[in-house]
Structure 1
Amino acid sequence: MAGNVHRATAAGQGNDQTRRHNLSTVLTALHHDGPQTRAELTRRTGLNRSTIAALVAELSLRGLAFETPATEAGTVGRPSPLVHPNSDVVALTVNPDIDAITVGLVGLGGRVHKRIRYETELPTVKKTVKIVTALVEGMQSELDSRFTVLGLGVAVPGLVRSDAMVTLAPHLEWREEPLAGPLTEALGYPVTAGNDAGAACLAESIYGAGRGVRELIYLNGSASGIGGGVLVRGIPLRGSSGYAGELGHTVVNAQGSRCHCGRIGCLETEVSRARLLEVLGRGSSEADHLDRLLAESDDDAVQIEVNRQLDWLALALGNLIGIFNPEAIVLGGFLGSLYAANPERLDEGVQEQTFASLVHGLRIERAELGPQLLTVGAAELVFAGLLADPAGYLARLDLPGEGVRPAL
C-alpha cells in the first residue's frame, strides 16, 4: 500500500506502544461487536473519554472507522457519536474444495459483500490460481473504485504451515504445495492461509453460535471430509506445528472402511456428505440445500443413513468431550444439516457415550453463519494482523493503490 496512509506522531516509544495497543483494542471491539457509541467504548475499555476520542479520530483518519450522529433516548446533552468499522476495508477470500472453489469479499465487521461459488472438479493449485485470478479480475473495477483490499485469506481443507505452504490436503491431492507465491504473483496481494475448519471455528466463535464461549469444540463437515477446531480458554489450540484439530481422523469403527490417511474407520469415513447425497439421489451441486432435502425426504433408507451417521458422530463426540471438557460443541457444514435432521438422537447418543458430569450444561448447536462460514473464517486470517496492530500493519503493507480510503 502506498505511503500516503496517515500516521500519528507519538511522543515517545512507551506512549507509542500504549497507543498501538489501545488502537487494537478499539478496532477489535468494533470488528467483533459492530457499531458502538464513544460512551460504550469508554465503558467497555476502561479508557477515558478524551483517549477514546483521540483513538476514534485516528482510526477514522486511517480509514478504518467512521462516525455517525447517534440519538440516545433519555440522555441529557449532546448524544455520543456512533462509531462504525469501515466495511469497505476488505479481505479477499478463497476456499478450494474437491467440487468447487469459492471466492469471497469480506469487510471489517464481518460483512460479506460477495461470495462466488465456481464449480469444478478436483482443482490443482495451478487451476485454483487460474480460477481465482479470473474471478478477482472480474470484480477488479469495483475493488479499485470502492474497496481497500488488505490481502487474500485462503481456507484449505488440509494441513497448512504458517508460510501458506500446504503440507497435505489429501482430498485435493495437494502435497507440499506453495500457495502464497503463485497467488501473490497473479494478484499482487499478500496471502495468508490456514486450515478451513480452524478458520471456521474462529469465525463462529466471534460471530456465531460459539460467541463468548471459551472452551469450544467445532466440527466442520465439507466435501473434503471432517475437520475441527478447539478453543481452550478462548485461545485456538494450534499444536507444536500448527496442525492441531484433525478431529475427523478420530477412529470410531475398527471394522470400518480404510481412510485415505491409512487407518481404518476414521470419523470422516463413517460420517460423510457424499453418503448422504448418494442415499438422497442428489449431486454435490445441491449440497447447499441439504437441510431441505433431508427434511422433505420420506425414504426409510435416508432416515436409516442419517441415524447411522449420527450414532458414529455421537461416539466421536463422546471421546472428544472426555479429552477437552468443552462448554459447547458447534457443528458446521453438512454436520449441521445432519444434526438438524434428528437432534434428539445425537443428544441422547452423546449422553450415552460420556460421563454425566462432563455433559452437564454442555450445549450442542449447529453453526449460525451457514454457507458464509468459511468465507468469514478465511477473512479473519487476514484481519488478524490488522487487529493486532492497526498502525503497524498499514505501514507494512505494500499493495498497489493509494492506501486506505476514508469512509464517506
Structure 2
Amino acid sequence: MPLSGKPRLIREINRTLILDVLRTEGPLSRAALAARTGVSAPAISRVVADLLESGWIREVGTGESTGGRRPVLLAVNPEAGFLVGLDVRRQALLGAVTNLEGRVVVRDREPVRRRGPALLDQVVAFARMLVERAGIPRERLLGVGAAVTGVSRDDGTVTHSPGLDWADVPLGATLAAALGCPAYVENDVNALLLGEQWQGAAVGARDAAAILVGTGGVGAAVLVGGHLYTGRSGEAGEIGSWLVGPPATAEPLEDVAAVMAWVRRWGAADLDPVEERSVEALLAALQAGDPKARAILDGVLPYLAQATANLVTLLNPELVVLGGEVLAVADRVVPQLQAAVDRHCPSPAPVVPARLGDLSALLGVVRGFLDRQRNSVTFVRHEGRRTL
C-alpha cells in the first residue's frame, strides 16, 4: 500500500535535488538536470516550471546546440532568499545579511555590552536589527548562522565559551525562535576557514588549515577532503591548549599568544576599561612602530611560529590561512610563521592572511548553513515556508 503523502515527498526531494545541482553546478539545461539528478524529463519540466514561477530559479541564456534548438540554461536566483550571518566575539558583534551567493546586503558592528547569558539578548536584538535594515520580506529569510568562540553542539547549543562567559547557552534555538527560521552555529575559526574556502584565500582547497589569533583566544580549523574535520566531540583544532616553551615552564599557547595576552603584557597604565578600545590602541601602536608594543609581539611570535610549524607537519595541508585581530599586523607576523614552516616542516605549505577580513566568519556561517540545509528535504520547505 503506498505511503500517504508519498507523491508530495517525492516532489520535495526532486525540488531539493534540482536546486542543489543548480547551486553547485549551474547554469544547466533541463536535459542536463535530468542527467545529473536521474529525475525523469517530465518531472524535471514540472519542477522547473514551479521553481520559475515562484522565483527560486531563473533563465540565464542559452547553451550550445547539439543538433536542435539551443537549450535554455537555468540557474538559482541569488535574490530568492537571504541569510543572516553573525560573528559573536568577546568585544564586538559583527553581522551581515547576504543573498544566496554571499553578496552582502547589509553589514554592521556593535560593541558587546553584556557578558554571560545576558549577551544572548543583545545578539538577538542585533540580528533583528540587521533583518529590519535589510528590508527583506520575512518569507525570504531562509536562515541564520552564528560563529562563536568556543565549542558548540549540532543543535546550536554553545557548551563552552570562556571568552563569552557562556556554558550550555541555547544560541541556535533562541535565534531560530526569534527570527522564525532555521539556525546554524559554528566555531569561529571553522567558520573563518569555510568563508575563505568559499570566496577567499582557500578557494579550491580540499586539505587546508586555518589559525585564528584573536581576542577570544587561539584556535585552528582543518579541512580534510574539502570538509571540516571537527573530531569526536567537536573540539578538534583547540591548539590554544598546546603547551609551548621549555618543559619546566611550559604554558598553554592561548595564555601566551592570544591578543588579550598581548594587551595584558602591554601594561595596566595603557589599558582602557573597555576591552575593545584597549585592543584597538595596542594594534594601532604596533602599526605605528611603538617599541614597547613591538617588543611584546616579538616575544609572542616564536610561540606562534612553533605552533604553526607543528600544525603543518601534523596535517600536511595545501595552505594555512591566518585570521583574527592578528591580521592588523599580518605584514610582520606572516613572514615569521612562513620562515618557521619552511625551516622545520618536511613538506612546507604557504601561510597566507585571510583575504576576506571581518567577512570571513560571516560568509563562513552562511556557507555552512547552506551546506547543511541542502542535505535534507528542508532545503525547499520549512514549516510550510519556502527555504533553501
Determine if the TM-score, normalized by the shorter chain, exceeds 0.5: yes
Q: Is the 2:84–2:131 contact (alpha carbons within 8 Å) kept by the matching residues of 1?
A: no
Q: Quick one: which of 308, 311, 329 aligns to 2:302?
A: 311
- Residues 183-262 of structure 1: matches in 2 within 5 Å? 183-254=175-246
Q: Give, in angstroms, the shift of residue 394 of structure 1.
A: 2.2
Does residue 26 of the first structure (1) align with residue 22 of the second (2)? yes
SS of the residue 2:317 aligns to: coil
Change in 2 beyond 3 A, CA 1:310/1:42: farther
1:398 alignment partner AA: E
Q: Give, in angstroms, the shift of residue 147 of structure 1.
A: 6.8
TM-score by length of 2: 0.79
Change in 2 beyond 3 A, CA 1:25/1:248: farther
Supply the distance in 2 between the matched residues of 1:42 and 1:254 (Cα, whole angstroms): 61
Query: For structure 1, which segment, 277-286 or 104-113, has the greater mean C-alpha deviation from structure 2 after superposition?
Result: 277-286
Change in 2 beyond 3 A, CA 1:315/1:130: closer
Q: Which runs of 5+ in 1 are unaligned?
A: 1-8, 30-35, 258-263
SS of the residue 1:326 aligns to: coil
Supply the distance in 1 between the matched residues of 2:124 and 2:152 (Cα, whole angstroms): 19
2:330 alignment partner AA: Y
Supply the distance in 1 between the matched residues of 2:293 and 2:300 (Cα, whole angstroms): 11
Q: Give, in angstroms, the shift of residue 298 of structure 1.
A: 2.8
Query: For structure 1, which segment, 273-282 or 340-349, has the greater mean C-alpha deviation from structure 2 after superposition?
Result: 273-282
Q: Quick one: which of 317, 341, 365 aligns to 1:326?
A: 317
SS of the residue 1:177 aligns to: coil
Q: Quick one: which of 378, 383, 386 aligns to 1:398?
A: 383
Q: Is the 1:106–1:375 contact (alpha carbons within 8 Å) kept by the matching residues of 2?
A: no
The equivalent of 1:33 in structure 2 is: none
The equivalent of 2:363 in structure 1 is: 376
Q: Give, in angstroms, the shift of residue 215 of structure 1.
A: 1.2
SS of the residue 2:244 aligns to: coil
The equivalent of 1:274 in structure 2 is: 260
Query: For structure 1, which segment, 193-202 or 117-126, has the greater mean C-alpha deviation from structure 2 after superposition?
Result: 117-126
Q: Is the 2:22–2:74 contact (alpha carbons within 8 Å) kept by the matching residues of 1?
A: no
Q: Which runs of 5+ in 2 are unaligned?
A: 1-6
Does residue 365 of the first structure (1) align with residue 352 of the second (2)? yes
Change in 2 beyond 3 A, CA 1:98/1:19: closer
Does residue 179 of the first structure (1) align with residue 179 of the second (2)? no
Q: Give, in angstroms, the shift of residue 204 of structure 1.
A: 1.2
Query: For structure 1, which segment, 184-193 or 110-119, has the greater mean C-alpha deviation from structure 2 after superposition?
Result: 184-193
Q: Is the 1:314–1:353 contact (alpha carbons within 8 Å) kept by the matching residues of 2?
A: no
Does residue 154 of the first structure (1) align with residue 146 of the second (2)? yes
Q: Is the 1:204–1:373 contact (alpha carbons within 8 Å) kept by the matching residues of 2?
A: yes
1:181 alignment partner AA: A
Q: Give, in angstroms, the shift of residue 108 of structure 1.
A: 0.6
Query: For structure 1, which segment, 212-221 or 56-65, has the greater mean C-alpha deviation from structure 2 after superposition?
Result: 56-65
TM-score by length of 1: 0.76
Supply the distance in 2 between the matched residues of 1:266 and 1:107 (Cα, whole angstroms): 40
Does residue 344 of the first structure (1) align with residue 331 of the second (2)? no
Change in 2 beyond 3 A, CA 1:214/1:276: same
The alignment's C-alpha RMSD in Å is: 4.0
Does residue 63 of the first structure (1) align with residue 55 of the second (2)? yes
Q: Is the 1:102–1:117 contact (alpha carbons within 8 Å) kept by the matching residues of 2?
A: yes
Supply the distance in 2 between the matched residues of 1:38 and 1:167 (Cα, whole angstroms): 43
Q: Quick one: which of 378, 388, 404 aligns to 2:375?
A: 388
Supply the distance in 2 between the matched residues of 1:404 and 1:162 (Cα, whole angstroms): 19
Supply the distance in 2 between the matched residues of 1:289 and 1:209 (Cα, whole angstroms): 28
Query: For structure 1, which segment, 323-332 or 345-354, has the greater mean C-alpha deviation from structure 2 after superposition?
Result: 345-354
Supply the distance in 2 between the matched residues of 1:88 and 1:333 (Cα, whole angstroms): 32
1:126 alignment partner AA: A
Q: Give, in angstroms, the shift of residue 285 of structure 1.
A: 4.4
Does residue 353 of the first structure (1) align with residue 349 of the second (2)? no
Identity %: 24
Higher relative contact order (CA 8 A, sep 6+): 1
Q: Is the 2:96–2:130 contact (alpha carbons within 8 Å) kept by the matching residues of 1?
A: no
Q: Is the 2:15–2:380 contact (alpha carbons within 8 Å) kept by the matching residues of 1?
A: no
Q: Give, in angstroms, the shift of residue 171 of structure 1.
A: 1.3
2:315 alignment partner AA: F
Q: Give, in angstroms, the shift of residue 326 of structure 1.
A: 1.0
The equivalent of 1:97 in structure 2 is: 89
Query: For structure 1, which segment, 183-192 or 206-215, has the greater mean C-alpha deviation from structure 2 after superposition?
Result: 183-192
The equivalent of 2:120 in structure 1 is: 128
Cα deviation 1:127-169 (Å, max 9, x = unaligned): 3224422551564375453871112212110010111111110
Q: Is the 1:94–1:155 contact (alpha carbons within 8 Å) kept by the matching residues of 2?
A: yes
The equivalent of 1:3 in structure 2 is: none
Supply the distance in 2 between the matched residues of 1:293 and 1:147 (Cα, whole angstroms): 47
Cα deviation 1:91-111 (Å, max 9, x = unaligned): 222222221122321221112
Q: Is the 1:248–1:266 contact (alpha carbons within 8 Å) kept by the matching residues of 2?
A: yes
Does residue 170 of the first structure (1) align with residue 162 of the second (2)? yes
Q: Quick one: which of 101, 107, 112 aligns to 2:104?
A: 112
Supply the distance in 2 between the matched residues of 1:150 and 1:198 (Cα, whole angstroms): 22
Q: Give, in angstroms, the shift of residue 227 of structure 1.
A: 2.0
Q: Give, in angstroms, the shift of residue 83 of structure 1.
A: 3.2
1:233 alignment partner AA: G
2:20 alignment partner AA: S
Change in 2 beyond 3 A, CA 1:171/1:57: same
